[in-house]
Structure 1
């Protein structure tokens, strides 16, 4: 075997080791709030549940994305909600980024919906504020999603709001 062939093989081996190390480094450094929803998980979601929602405030700074709003299932009182979480998701990669979500009491939403829904429930615990650091998000176009869970329902709703980072 020629010396140039040996050198070429050594260079290729070194390049492969560097590439594998770089891939491992990128994998380890993925944001910890990445979530991929399995397609089979969607079978447990109540995708046809009627809901009402609003994003009332939406703030994007150089460091954070923050939103405020409310979400209800029309025929379920919000005190039954065990978990409400806001996500940003990309269509291309199917990655979902969980926003730090805090639920809030919203008596104003309860009053508003009592007058507008045919079979109103109690909606005082419908509010939320949610935020995420922009450093956790790769450049992409994101859709907002709300995940709602109670003993009777699991709902993942795509909201009609987008953000381009």
Structure 2
């Protein structure tokens, strides 16, 4: 009787003497842990806000962080700078109560997110500003003068 075990490319162990008609415990566990989880398990467990999408643009004078966060108010945001770490967060609470003759229904929800970014050395942290318009939060990160791109220059040979 051989005790050799073959190792397939997927890394699961299979007994060479096993009956292929009956799944082994190892095969069942592999099936459970190697399949993709339903989206309910991979999404955030908050009530309504998922991690917002971000675009980061660079031009000659600044970096611009664009964050898509519709449905919020300007006062819902908190933007912090700690050393060279920029953090954008929000926390909202919603409470609804509906009273009818025979019942009262009360619902409440909380949602939050936090995105953090390490700033490049060339950002002038004293001049950072932000605006919120039509569901887009724009954070402007101006560059220091020495970090700004200089126009091309032709050097004459003497």
Bigger radius of gyration: 2
- TM-score (normalised: structure 2): 0.27
Name the structure, 1 or 2, with higher relative contact order (CA <8 Å, separation 6+). Answer: 1
- TM-score (normalised: structure 1): 0.27
